[in-house]
Structure 1
Amino acid sequence: MPRKPNTEARRGEIVRALQSVMAKHGYEKATIQAIAKEAGLAPGLLHYHFSSKQEILVSLVTALADYGQRRFEQIAGTAQSPMERLTAYMEARLGLGDGAAPEVVAAWVMIGAEAVRQAEVREVYQRTIATELELLSALLANCLSEHKRATTGARELAAALLAMMEGAYQLASATNGVMPAGYAAQSALRFAKLSLDATALESGA
């Protein structure tokens, strides 16, 4: 009896192929034929696993979010304090160490552009950003609590840091070699520390 194809593995190959083509040529030029060629598959197989290019793109958003979370968990594995976990988060999102992937950054920037244009992409993109906001807010709140500082501004600070991160991704994708190497993680962490230090102490602390 013939073995059933590994559908999830094949879908993963297609999603990664879209990521690669987008990083090199942009979303508009990431045709079904180009994605199939990158994946080493017949175009008909793509239509078997996905109904449209947009559906592949939506799956790519989820895949990139999962990649970011796995990288954070790996780097934060030995973290002992809230500040060490915050540092691990910045390194996971902006650092140039193991696991850094310029292709991922380029694809994410293009996904942001498509989220403006396509409602279905925007929906999953917004959920991903909302999840990031909650995670970063919690990391910052833990840092503030450890030093007995008010946590009421943690969400606003998290939003500012996320905006800084998205801007760094845009610059990395559009101005290759212009920005100083490794500046993003260091600058974001420095901004976070200065903001945490400037936060008022809790009442009665």
Structure 2
Amino acid sequence: MPRPSNTEARREQIVAGLLKAMAERGYEGASVAEIARAAGLSAGLVHYHFEDKQEILLTLVRSLASRARQRFATRASKLAADDARGRVEAFVDAFLATGPDADVAAVAGWVTISAEAIRQPEVRVAYEEVVRADLEHLEALVAAVVGKRRARPLAAGLFAAIQGYFVLSASAPGLVPPGSAAGTVKRMAAGLLDAATLSPSDREVS
């Protein structure tokens, strides 16, 4: 696998700096100087690689989405080809599970991004693009269990639960028992899928 270029590595370093700075000071307080400090670089290097702070944030949106999708791919690769329910659980785990690849900073960052999506049209476009793609992915996973007709509302409900846990864990962490999010949403998913699963004679052709 080729090594990333110096430019790519620097950009990733700066994006990670924004994530760290936002965790400490929020987006408004994450000035270019603070991002540079968190990244261990000079402010001049930050300006060299990015036009402004918003461009770094937009890059962070794509980076966080890619990290969650990679966690799903890793989990899904360990499942049998016909384990449709396992893939729904793997999706939930990819976003909410604790463990060696848990991404606590990413959760807090995603909540900040969702808030900025309300304020900044450019961020809203990037945020909606990521959310739409992830929701469509979850809908396809759910459809493999219950059929296409019933998949959309179930997927939307599960995705909303995931996003709700993001907000709670970032804004009021004491309200969420540690390590409970993934297990709770997976149990919700199991109940919803059981209730929606059609009998073989009624199942629509997907």
The corresponding residue for 1:104 is 106
The corresponding residue for 1:41 is 41
Superimposed CA distance per residue, residues 69-111 of structure 1 (whole angstroms, 9 cap, x where no aligned partner): 1111112221111111111111111111121121111111000
Aligned-pair CA distance for 1:178: 2.7
The corresponding residue for 1:91 is 93
Aligned-pair CA distance for 1:203: 7.5
What amino acid does structure 1 have at the position aligned with 2:195?
A
Find the partner of 1:138 among 137, 140, 148: 140
What amino acid does structure 1 have at the position aligned with 2:28?
E
Aligned-pair CA distance for 1:170: 0.6
Measure, in 2, the Cα distance between the counterparts of 1:166 and 1:124: 16
Superimposed CA distance per residue, residues 154-200 of structure 1 (whole angstroms, 9 cap, x where no aligned partner): 01111111111111001101112331122211111111111111115
* 1:126-165 correspondence to structure 2 within 5 Å: 126-144=128-146, 150-165=147-162
Aligned length: 196
Contact 2:92/2:162 (8 A) holds in 1: no
CA-atom RMSD, angstroms?
A: 1.4
Question: After the TM superposition, which segments of 4 or more aligned residues of structure 1 sit over 6 Å from their partners?
Answer: none
TM-score by length of 1: 0.91
Find the partner of 2:192 among 181, 190, 195: 195
Cα distance change, pair 34–98 in 1 and its aligned pair in 2 (3 A): same
Structure 1's unaligned 5+ residue stretches are 145-149
The corresponding residue for 2:53 is 53
Structure 2's unaligned 5+ residue stretches are none
Contact 1:23/1:104 (8 A) holds in 2: no
TM-score by length of 2: 0.91
